[in-house]
């Protein structure tokens, strides 16, 4: 909403600098996005053309004698100017730029300083300006002709300069879409008073009510319809002042009658519509729902097919307008129009919004009706507009107005404000005198109520106000709305700043959040970088990682911004792999990336299951290449590329650190990972997740660098279930030494090392065991492999003797032979 | 064969010690030891000759000879130590490190800056008794809008451009959406328990919005809600002022201005005075502050007193209970604190960005 101060001053005294006014409005909730200044022209004055003669050497140019009224030796100074504008004429008031003025040059496209110049042999001592040259508009077809009463010799900046406040309104502040609404706001902030415009006019002839018949068929969609009839208007351009007002407020002038409807809409907020009276068949207006399939060509030239959800203004047969949205072409005001039927009505907000949205129309009318205008407004704006039409287009108004108002309320809306509620909401006492003063300044009408608020013992801090809501406010409906009105006037600084002192409520902490955050901390401590990807992806990207579609395809967004962000991810892998690929273009890594986020699994007829998941990728050399290790080796596990065991080690360490013991690792299958290089990790039968090396064809689809990419994906809910219930317990440090024996075993090649390790660890007196070598090949029978362990025997209560250790070892070997076909390597 | 006389012994010892002081390698010391103290060494041989002397002479010369032997031995020991130390010193000189070479880093991992700032925000409120709860990212229209006093067809819905899920219920409505704010948890939390309530809700939000340097369609929000008997706007001010100080420094000042959110009344937004220019740019015309764009103030969150319709919607008596709610954007806070100029960096996941935090 653009508010030119020149217009605003018509209703309220603006005695503050524009920046200060903008600040106060913003603080009170009417945000001023920008303060635009027009003007600032030096050496440009209101001038007058005293004579026009042909140019001796050019047909299209003329020599104009111009004066600004200033004195010179021989009386009044007169200057000769060459002018090419077709509309220049003697007697005009014009914008005259003297030599030295800074103007826009349409030929060079730049601002330039005007110099005296010879044009076709005649010296020009200045310039008569167009809109374009002054930066006031795009028009360069002719010069600006000022009103006759423009003050000769006044600097143009004083006369035409303006300040425009560009308001960025929140949807509740409908009132500030009008000059009067803003004026009331300004009055409250500056202590001024609002002058409402004149709305009186001459009436003659038969009463309006006899000229036209108006009926509301659907009062749920149209609460009130008012109209006047004006005969004998002459349609033409609006006077300059009216055009200026509209242009500065950002609207395009059309013709005098239409311009008045727009002007009054900007003044009062009430959208109006002018029909060509003679196009309204049978002088009958019916406000009704459209018939199915009924058609209307609207003012924008579009033929629209209507349905009963649309409210139309119809004559005895056909729609002539889409109520409160846009007019019909069939009843449009044109040069031929002699009689105007002027409508000022009140339409139901929700229906108006629905129709406008369905038609893809966001008109100035809809912008207002959809927010719920007050019905009182209709006749006020109607009278004002009728008066103005008479003023700018002539004609005679039929006496009276037509006012169809099926269910007028008994009394204007009032809301009670108790001092108790003010105190309860704000935490401070606002005296009733101060509250009333604040509301009065905004134009509310307050009456002190006899009703006592019950707990303050009366006095200034008690009591209540019965507050009548003025016609321009639609946003004040409950007591708390009035609390806001009071506090935004007295200022938020007046409210004390007090810490909460009510008891802290107990909300049981969420173990899932705690676990997720612990996992993130651990992974970061383990050298992994957290990333956060968009949860929406394209089908194509998802399919590069995992087969989707199938029986439960991922959830789709109905109105995606692009195909790139169309589906809710059922896996974190696709996003992570794409992130890895993007980063590989910046360098060779190493990359250790993880994401802790939700994946979305559809459920029939319900919100999706949002599964908290943590997934990771490891790629590149185990450590960065440097002068220490030019090949990038050196860290734990030696040099070379990270692989399955780097991912597995990260998960093992993670499980150990969060306190999950007894996880079981088995060969697994997962479409992201390469078969045979993928493990499923389980706990008590439940699946915690998968670890693996990314399938070569997945790597290729994401365009990843060559070399293995290892990763894992864990479900946090499963981890949470596997967490021991109890807190961890201290285990005494061993007091007696351990005895260590090395054990080299030959086992069938298909026996997993994990199984052998498990057998060893379960044996009596074995405290721990480390696999330190795996070998197969030469010197071993085909189909076998050798596993070598350090096995540590220890007892809590004594030092083990050699015989005890040997006996235990013998028993262990027998078990291993029986359970795993293992034999000691000789 | 040298006779074991006092003169001879003293000469021999003197010559040996003089020779010793000139030696500078462990090998030559060993040769010296063999030459004087070895089994056939000069001094050993002299000592052997003592047997031929009479008892008196043997005792006298014997003592002298032993003294000489000891002085040779201790001389050898001292010289050996000197040579060893010199060798160590030489070796150390040769083994000097270029201490300006880079050290070996452990594998580096960091948390995403959003995680870090969300934690910082949550910790500040946790210290004021707020508990962290989370809610679904895919929501019903019911919680995202209707329970927040934004019924269907309400013009305020234009404030939240919504991404709708492609799902139609039996009534032909499309009621499922990606939450546009974390506020739906206000209703969910209050539905699930009686007052008092004091929670913060961090999480992802989504809007149908073109991205630019300050707008992302996918972003985080931290919502806060405190409801009880006797909670007032003064408490809102106290809580948010304390938050501003904890995040942006003790000397911060705050400013509230009227704003509109359908689920609060009165509604405000809170600004802090600019921590970069200390609010000075607001006065100085030449300011040039990049952070507050010379306004001296930075808007950081919206807030307000919970709307009575929101309270009654969840079955709380709005005459008895009051409360405040607030919401803020962690990315914006991080951008302000760390001088990040473009929100699009956050979820582009360029490691060159992420590793700065």
Residue B104 lies in a domain: no
Active site residue B67: no
The secondary structure of A530-558 as a DSSP string is E----SEE-HHHHHHHS---SSSPPPBBS
Helix (H, G, I), strand (E, B) or coil at A388: helix
CB nearest to B110's CB, from A349, A530, A583: A530
**Class (C level, CATH) for A44-160:** mainly beta
Q: Which helix (H) or strand (E) holds A122?
A: strand A122-124
Q: Where are the domains of chain A?
A: 2-39+163-190, 44-160, 208-404, 414-494, 511-722, 739-824
Q: Which CATH number fits domain A2-39+163-190: 3.40.50.720, 3.30.56.10, 1.20.120.420, 3.40.50.970?
A: 3.30.56.10
Does B180 contact A at CB distance below 8 Å? no
> How many Cβ pairs closer than 8 A exist between chain A and B?
237
CA gap A733, A544 in Å, rounded: 51
The secondary structure of A644-656 as a DSSP string is HHHHHHHHHHHHH
Q: Residue by residue, what is the 3-state secondary structure of A580-632?
A: HHHHHCCCCCCEEEEEEEEEEEEECCEEEEEEEEEEEEEECECCCCCCCCCCC
Q: What topology is assigned to A511-722 in CATH? A: BirA Bifunctional Protein; domain 2 (3.30.930)
Residue B91 to chain A, least CA–CA distance (Å) = 22
Q: How confident is the model at residue B283 (pLDDT cuts 50, 70, 90)?
A: low
* pLDDT tens readout for residues A479-517: 999 999 999 999 999 999 999 998 999 888 888 999 999
Same domain, B297 and B263: yes
The secondary structure of B90-102 as a DSSP string is HHHHHT---TTS-
CA gap A759, A736 in Å, rounded: 24
Neighbouring CB atoms inside 10 A of A329's CB total 17
Instruction: Tell me which residue has tokens 């019950």.
Output: A454
Active site residue B264: yes
Residue A495 to chain B, least CA–CA distance (Å) = 6
Q: How confident is the model at residue A411 (pLDDT cuts 50, 70, 90)?
A: confident
CA gap A499, B246 in Å, rounded: 14
CA gap A732, A797 in Å, rounded: 12
Q: Who contacts A154 (Cβ-Cβ below 8 Å, separation ≥6)?
A: A45, A46
CA gap A199, A380 in Å, rounded: 8
Residue B108 lies in a domain: no
* pLDDT tens readout for residues A731-760: 778 889 999 999 999 999 889 898 899 999
Q: Who contacts B234 (Cβ-Cβ below 8 Å, separation ≥6)?
A: A426, A427, A428, A495, A496, A497, A498
Chain B positions touching A608 (Cβ under 8 A) are 138
Q: What share of chain B is helix, strand, coil (3-state, %, to 5)?
A: 45, 20, 40
Residue B107 lies in a domain: no
CA dihedral A295, A296, A297, A299 (to 10 degrees): -160
Q: Who contacts A407 (Cβ-Cβ below 8 Å, separation ≥6)?
A: A219, A223
Active-site pick, B325, B332, B334, B345:
B325
Residue B289 confidence (pLDDT) above 80? no
**Radius of gyration of chain A, Cα coordinates, nearest whole angstrom:** 42
Active-site pick, B16, B222, B226, B264:
B264
Residues in chain A: 826
**Is the Cβ pair B349, A532 closer than 8 Å?**
yes
Structure tokens at B153: 């067809």
Chain B positions touching A560 (Cβ under 8 A) are 163
Residue B172 lies in a domain: yes
Angle at CA A736, nearest 5°, toward A731 and A738? Answer: 95
Residue A455 confidence (pLDDT) above 60? no
**Mean of the per-residue pLDDT values for chain A?**
91
Q: Is the peptide bond before A386 cis (omega within 30 degrees of 0)?
A: no
Last residue of a domain, one of B60, B94, B128: B94
Same domain, B32 and B124: no
Same domain, B83 and B168: no
- Describe the strand order of the beta sheet including A31-38 as a list of residue ranges: A2-4, A162-168, A31-38
Same domain, B118 and B155: yes
Q: Is the peptide bond before B196 cis (omega within 30 degrees of 0)?
A: yes
Same domain, B21 and B117: no
CA gap A283, A268 in Å, rounded: 28
Q: What is the pLDDT of residue A631?
A: 62
Report which DSSP code applies to A212. Answer: -
CB-CB contact of A137 with A91 (8 Å): no
Query: Comparing A485 with B275, which gets the higher pLDDT?
Result: A485
* b/e A446-485 (16+ beta carbons within 10 angstroms → b): beebeeebeebeeeebbbbbebbbbbbbbbbebbbbbbbb
* pLDDT tens readout for residues A553-579: 999 999 999 999 999 999 999 999 999
- How distant is the alpha carbon of residue A432 from its chain centre? 39
* pLDDT tens readout for residues A213-230: 999 999 999 999 999 999
User: What average pLDDT does this structure show over B261-272?
Assistant: 95
Domain containing B277 equals 113-354
Q: Which helix (H) or strand (E) holds A820?
A: helix A802-820
Same domain, B268 and B187: yes
**Is the Cβ pair B322, A170 closer than 8 Å?**
no
Number of Cα atoms under 13 Å in the Cβ half of residue A265: 27
Helix (H, G, I), strand (E, B) or coil at B116: helix
Domain count, chain B: 2
Same domain, B22 and B85: yes
CATH number of the domain located at residue range(s) A414-494 in this protein: 3.30.56.10
**Is the Cβ pair B266, A488 closer than 8 Å?**
yes
Identify which of A591, A369, A771, A246 has the alpha carbon closest to the alpha carbon of residue B107.
Answer: A591
Query: Comparing A713 with B277, which gets the higher pLDDT?
Result: A713
Q: Which residue on chain B is closest to A500 by alpha carbon?
A: B235
Structure tokens at A223: 């609460």
| CA dihedral sign of residues B339, B345, B349, B353 | negative
Q: What is the pLDDT of residue A69?
A: 85
CATH superfamily of A739-824: Ferrodoxin-fold anticodon-binding domain (3.30.70.380)
User: What average pLDDT does this structure show over B309-331?
Assistant: 97
Q: How confident is the model at residue B285 (pLDDT cuts 50, 70, 90)?
A: very low
**Is the Cβ pair A535, B218 closer than 8 Å?**
yes
CB nearest to B258's CB, from A371, A488, A590: A488
* b/e B132-150 (16+ beta carbons within 10 angstroms → b): bbbbbbbbbbebbbbbbbb
Same domain, B282 and B322: yes
Q: Which helix (H) or strand (E) holds A62?
A: strand A58-67
Identify which of A497, A505, A479 has the alpha carbon closest to the alpha carbon of residue A425.
Answer: A479
- How distant is the alpha carbon of residue A378 from its chain centre? 33
Does B287 contact A at CB distance below 8 Å? no
Residue A137 confidence (pLDDT) above 80? no
Q: Do domains A414-494 and A511-722 have the same CATH topology?
A: no
CA gap A85, A66 in Å, rounded: 14
**Mean of the per-residue pLDDT values for chain B?**
90
CB < 8 Å from A in window 206-245 of B? 206, 208, 210, 217-218, 226, 228-235, 237-239, 241-242
**Is the Cβ pair B129, A504 closer than 8 Å?**
yes
Q: What is the pLDDT of residue A56?
A: 87
Residue B276 to chain A, least CA–CA distance (Å) = 21
**Is the Cβ pair A532, B115 closer than 8 Å?**
yes
CATH number of the domain located at residue range(s) A208-404 in this protein: 3.50.40.10
Helix axes A753-762, A802-820, angle to 10 degrees: 140
Give the residues across from B324 on adjacent strands.
Answer: B226, B305
Lowest mean pLDDT among A90-99, A424-433, B84-93: B84-93
Q: Who contacts B145 (Cβ-Cβ below 8 Å, separation ≥6)?
A: B151, B152, B154, B157, B160
Residue A210 confidence (pLDDT) above 70? yes
Q: Which helix (H) or strand (E) holds A426?
A: helix A419-426
Same domain, B65 and B214: no
Residue B106 lies in a domain: no
Neighbouring CB atoms inside 10 A of A266's CB total 22
Residue B292 sits in a domain whose CATH number is: 3.30.930.10
Residue B293 lies in a domain: yes
* b/e A402-430 (16+ beta carbons within 10 angstroms → b): bbbbeeeeeeebebebbbbbbbbbbbbeb
Last residue of a domain, one of B94, B128, B147: B94
CA gap B120, B101 in Å, rounded: 36
CA gap B38, B239 in Å, rounded: 92
Identify which of A113, A86, A94, A110 has the alpha carbon closest to the alpha carbon of residue A102.
Answer: A113
- ipTM (interface pTM): 0.84
Active-site pick, B221, B244, B252, B307:
B221
Chain B positions touching A435 (Cβ under 8 A) are none
**Radius of gyration of chain B, Cα coordinates, nearest whole angstrom:** 44
User: What average pLDDT does this structure show over A236-253?
Assistant: 91
Q: Where are the beta strands (DSSP E) in A749-822?
A: 766-775, 784-793
CB nearest to B257's CB, from A26, A497, A509: A26
**Helix runs in A727-766, H state only:** 753-762
């Amino acid at each position: 909403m653009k508010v030119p101060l020149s217009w605003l001053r018509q209703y309220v005294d603006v005695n503050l600098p524009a920046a200060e006014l903008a600040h106060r409005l913003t603080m009170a909730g009417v945000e001023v996005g920008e303060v635009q200044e027009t003007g600032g022209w030096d050496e440009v004055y209101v001038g007058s053309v005293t004579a026009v003669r042909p140019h001796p050497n050019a047909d299209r140019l003329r020599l104009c004698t111009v004066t600004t009224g200033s004195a010179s030796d021989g009386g009044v100074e007169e200057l000769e100017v060459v002018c090419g504008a077709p509309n220049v004429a003697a007697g005009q008031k014009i914008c005259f730029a003297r030599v030295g003025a800074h103007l826009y040059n349409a030929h060079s496209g730049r601002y330039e300083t005007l110099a005296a110049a010879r044009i076709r042999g005649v010296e020009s001592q200045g310039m008569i300006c167009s809109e374009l040259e002054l930066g006031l508009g795009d028009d360069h077809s002719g010069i600006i002709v000022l009103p006759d009463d423009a003050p000769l010799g006044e600097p143009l900046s004083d006369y035409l300069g303006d300040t425009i406040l560009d308001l960025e309104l929140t949807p509740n502040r409908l009132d500030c879409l009008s000059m009067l609404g803003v004026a009331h706001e300004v009055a409250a902030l500056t202590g001024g008073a609002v002058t409402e415009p004149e709305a009186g006019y001459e009436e003659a002839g038969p009463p309006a009510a006899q000229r036209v018949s108006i009926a509301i068929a659907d009062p749920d969609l149209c609460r009130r319809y008012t109209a006047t009839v004006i005969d004998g208007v002459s349609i033409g351009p609006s006077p300059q002042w009216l055009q200026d007002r509209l242009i500065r407020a950002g609207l395009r002038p059309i013709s005098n009658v239409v311009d008045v409807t727009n002007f009054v809409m900007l003044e009062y907020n009430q959208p109006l519509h002018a029909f060509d009276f003679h196009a309204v068949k049978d002088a009958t207006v019916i406000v009704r729902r459209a018939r199915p399939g009924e058609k209307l060509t609207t003012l924008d030239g579009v033929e629209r097919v209507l349905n009963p959800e649309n409210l139309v203004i119809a004559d005895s047969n056909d729609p002539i307008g889409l109520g409160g949205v846009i007019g019909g072409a069939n009843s449009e005001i044109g040069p031929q129009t002699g009689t105007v039927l002027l409508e000022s009505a009140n339409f139901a907000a929700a229906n108006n919004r629905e129709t406008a949205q369905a038609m893809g129309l966001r008109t100035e009318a809809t912008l207002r009706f959809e927010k719920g205008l007050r019905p009182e407004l209709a006749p006020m704006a109607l009278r004002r507009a009728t008066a103005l039409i008479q003023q700018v287009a002539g004609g005679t108004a039929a006496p009276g107005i037509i006012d169809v108002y099926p269910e007028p309320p008994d009394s204007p809306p009032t809301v009670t404000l108790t001092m108790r509620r003010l105190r309860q909401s704000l935490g401070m006492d606002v005296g009733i005198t101060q509250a009333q003063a604040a509301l009065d300044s905004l134009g509310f009408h307050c009456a002190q109520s006899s009703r006592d608020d019950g707990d303050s013992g009366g006095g200034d801090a008690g009591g209540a106000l019965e507050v009548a809501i003025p016609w321009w406010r639609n946003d004040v409906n409950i007591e708390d709305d009035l609390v806001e009105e009071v506090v935004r006037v007295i200022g938020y600084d007046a409210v004390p700043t007090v810490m909460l002192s009510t008891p802290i409520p107990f909300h049981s902490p969420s173990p899932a959040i705690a676990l997720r955050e612990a996992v993130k901390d651990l992974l970061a401590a383990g050298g992994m970088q957290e990333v956060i990807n968009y949860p929406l992806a394209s089908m194509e990207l998802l399919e590069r990682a995992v087969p989707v579609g199938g029986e439960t395809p991922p959830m789709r967004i109905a109105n995606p911004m692009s195909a790139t962000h169309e589906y809710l991810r059922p896996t974190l892998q696709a996003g992570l792999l794409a992130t890895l690929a993007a980063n590989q273009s910046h360098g060779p890594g190493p990359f250790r990336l993880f994401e802790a986020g939700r994946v979305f699994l559809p459920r029939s007829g319900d919100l999706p299951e949002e599964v908290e998941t943590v997934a990771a990728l490891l790629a590149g050399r185990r450590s960065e290449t440097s002068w220490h290790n030019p090949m990038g080796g050196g860290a734990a596990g030696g040099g070379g590329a990270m692989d399955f065991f780097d991912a597995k080690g990260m998960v093992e360490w993670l499980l150990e650190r969060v306190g999950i013991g007894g996880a079981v690792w088995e060969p697994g299958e997962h479409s992201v990972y390469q078969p045979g290089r993928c493990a499923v990790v389980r706990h008590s039968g439940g699946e915690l997740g998968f670890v693996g090396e990314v399938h070569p064809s997945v790597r290729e689809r994401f365009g990843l660098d060559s070399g293995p990419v290892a990763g894992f994906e864990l479900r946090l809910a499963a981890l949470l279930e596997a967490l021991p219930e109890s807190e961890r317990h201290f285990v005494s440090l061993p007091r007696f030494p351990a005895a260590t024996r090395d054990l080299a075993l030959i086992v069938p090649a298909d026996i997993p090392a994990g199984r052998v390790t498990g057998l060893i660890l379960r044996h009596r007196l074995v405290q721990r065991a480390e696999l330190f070598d795996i070998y197969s090949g030469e010197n071993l029978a085909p189909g076998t492999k050798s596993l070598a362990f350090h096995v540590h025997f220890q007892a809590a209560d004594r030092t083990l003797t050699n015989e005890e250790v040997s006996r235990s070892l013998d028993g262990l070997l027998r078990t291993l032979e029986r359970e795993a076909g293992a034999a000691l390597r000789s | 064969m040298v006779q074991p006389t006092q003169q001879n012994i003293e000469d021999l010892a003197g010559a040996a010690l003089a020779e010793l002081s000139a030696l500078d390698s462990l090998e030559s010391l060993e040769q010296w030891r063999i030459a004087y103290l070895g089994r056939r060494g000069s001094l050993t041989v002299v000592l052997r000759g003592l047997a031929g002397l009479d008892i008196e002479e043997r005792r006298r010369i014997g003592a002298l000879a032993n003294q000489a032997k000891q002085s040779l031995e201790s001389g050898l020991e001292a010289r050996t130590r000197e040579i060893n130390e010199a060798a160590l010193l030489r070796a150390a000189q040769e083994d000097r490190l270029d201490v300006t070479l880079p050290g070996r880093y452990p594998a580096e991992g960091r948390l995403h800056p959003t995680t870090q700032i969300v934690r910082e925000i949550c910790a500040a409120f946790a210290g004021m008794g707020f508990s962290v709860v989370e809610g679904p990212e895919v929501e019903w229209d019911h919680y995202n809008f209707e329970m927040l006093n934004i019924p269907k067809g309400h013009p305020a819905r234009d404030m939240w451009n919504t991404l709708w899920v492609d799902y139609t219920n039996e009534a032909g409505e499309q009621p499922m959406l990606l939450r546009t704010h974390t506020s739906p948890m206000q209703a969910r939390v209050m539905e699930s328990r009686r007052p008092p309530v004091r929670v913060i809700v961090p999480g992802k939000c989504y809007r149908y919005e073109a991205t630019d340097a300050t707008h992302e369609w996918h972003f985080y929000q931290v919502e806060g809600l405190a409801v009880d008997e006797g909670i007032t706007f003064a408490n809102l001010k106290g809580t948010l002022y304390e938050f501003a100080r904890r995040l942006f420094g003790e000397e911060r000042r705050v400013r509230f201005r009227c704003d509109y959110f359908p689920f609060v009344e009165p509604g405000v937004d809170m600004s802090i005075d600019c921590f970069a220019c200390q609010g000075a740019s607001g006065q100085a015309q030449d300011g040039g502050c990049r952070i507050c764009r010379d306004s001296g103030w930075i808007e950081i969150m919206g807030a307000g007193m919970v709307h009575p319709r929101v309270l009654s919607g969840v079955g709380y008596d709005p005459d008895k209970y009051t409360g405040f709610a607030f919401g803020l954007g962690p990315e914006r806070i991080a951008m302000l604190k760390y001088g990040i100029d473009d929100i699009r960096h956050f979820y582009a996941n360029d490691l060159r960005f992420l590793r700065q935090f």
